[in-house]
Amino acid sequence: MKAQHILERLYAWLSYRPVYHGLFWLTLLGLLFWADYAPGSAWWVVLTNAFISIFFFIGLVYFNLYYLIPRYLARHALLYLGLVLLACAVVTPIRVLALYLKFSGHPEWQRALVDTQLNLYVGSVLVTLTSTVLRVITDWWRYQQEKQALQTQTIQSELRFLKSQINPHFLFNTLNNLYALTLKKSDKAPEIVLKLSEIMRYMLYECNEKQVPLEREVQYIQNYLDLERLRQPKGADIQFVTEGLISHQMIAPLIFVPFLENSFKHGLNHHTRGGGYVHLHLKVEGEQLMFFIENNKPDPTPPPSTSGGIGLANVRQRLDLLYPGKYTLEIQDEPLRYAVTLRMTLD
């Protein structure tokens, strides 16, 4: 973790514009010095030559970065290239003149300088176009970073919206059931209130993170099923089996809630005399999780509710956002049976 933190700080430092510009010029200065230095030559002469060349390169590069590229590169590429060649053709003789005057006491150096003017011109063009390539790369990289940040922000906003749909949906169904029991003055009402308070505590205070411990999600399911057992008629068959180690795994919160709601809403809730069932099986093997839920359906199956329906669409969207390419969802909708199998790779 410490090494990762150091790398992140180094990355942020290198992304600072004065830093990578400074590194570019230091690198170019080193290359110029290395290219001109020969054993026995005066190092300070070579170094001052390199500094003079860097001065003219700075003028070319920043003229290119802040004038030529914004105005011409995207719209008139050929015109841009012509202007780069023209700018180098104007600056190179001035650079040669500066070095020529510096070599006033060395006629042989002056002659060699005049003979290499074309090479100096080509070098100016290469440095200027290199700055163009680096500018295009950095602009593309910055665009990708901004795009990724925007996608992350969009995903987080959509997840918050999707989860906000789950909470009122579940609360609405539960309060309807509680209201029906209070009208009947049922002794089950206080226990339902207690279970509901435990569920809402989990939803309000523990589900604000992107991931929660799997064991807390399993406990939530247990509370949910206990609440359903209290309000279901005698003879209802509600079973929940878990396999594998769940104490060290993390999962997105409330992933399984829409499947639970769907099983009771379209299954057991319509078996008013008992005989209905909801069976759940959760199995964990390493990072692989399998969640299976099955319920029977009344005959004839009641028409789907027109006021709900957000549950399964919600969970598909959340799975696409949170576990892209890491899950499969199989739904078996038969005349007298409905089953869902969710397989996913946990992070």
**pLDDT tens-place values along the chain, 347 residues long:** 456 567 667 766 766 778 778 888 888 888 888 877 777 667 777 788 888 888 999 999 999 999 999 998 988 889 999 999 999 999 999 988 888 888 887 788 788 888 888 888 998 999 999 999 988 988 898 888 888 778 777 766 766 665 665 556 566 767 777 777 788 777 777 877 888 888 878 877 777 788 899 999 999 999 888 888 877 777 788 999 999 988 889 998 888 988 988 888 777 766 655 578 899 999 999 999 999 999 988 765 555 544 444 567 777 888 888 898 999 999 998 888 899 999 999 97
This prediction's pTM: 0.56
Tell me, what DSSP letter sits at residue 308?
A: -
Q: Which residue has the tokens 């176009």?
A: 129
The Cα 216–Cα 199 span in angstroms is 11
Which helix or strand (DSSP H or E) is residue 283 part of?
A: strand 277-285
Class for the domain spanning 187-345: alpha beta
Q: CA distances (Å), 232 to each of 6, 193, 209, in order?
A: 57, 15, 32
Structure tokens at 204: 């309000």
**Where do you find CATH 3.30.565.10 in the chain?**
187-345
Please name which of 304, 300, 296 lies closest in space to residue 337, comparing C-alpha atoms: 296
